[in-house]
Structure 1
């Protein structure tokens, strides 16, 4: 049975992505990239609940590789969030949610993760610098 997905779940996911980018914009480079790599590595273990059986384990291996490569290139971290999105969708449809008390949390994560991936593909720019450049023109 597919879990309920609401507009509030989608809005919440976008807000969480925005907050993530704002918070990490406060972190100076190279620490911003290093911390994001650590988060990607950790995201590989978030679904090791056994619900999808052995299909859970490749995510951890893939994410550790992407995190390592992401220490030098943000694009690998972006790919990590896109890979995680696939697992978000699988867990929303067939498995346990990423947050046990929130049935649609995996679906929300599937919205949040690609937004973070886009930001990382851009090189994780500070949103403060980004908006200051746009308003100064």
Structure 2
């Protein structure tokens, strides 16, 4: 029987640290400690060749449960809908007006952080209400 593997979710983006810090706030993640031998990530970044500076950043679940998120600079911009996206579970187990209120409250918090509300999807008897959003660089995600 194969062993369970950890996963990392990788985002292609223009500004890795900006996007990573947004997701830290969304998920309650933290920036991991810098590598040994440097006092902070700024020092590490300055130690890299100029073409590699500001090219990557990461954040982790402080409880060690959720996947590590890795952000890498790419030269091309976002051109199409994401084929994979995150669902931020803002209202698990809630239904009806209580669910809608929890989703709207979280949506307002994330918009204040720089997210964009795209549209609300109504419950249809099969799927519950959710809100489609975009992060600070336009990557889609859902409040579920």
On whether the aligned pair clears a TM of 0.5, the verdict is no
Choose between structure 1 and 2 for higher RCO, CA contacts under 8 A separated by at least 6 residues.
1
With structure 2 as the length reference, what TM-score do the two structures score? 0.28
Higher helix proportion (structure 1 or 2): 1
With structure 1 as the length reference, what TM-score do the two structures score? 0.29
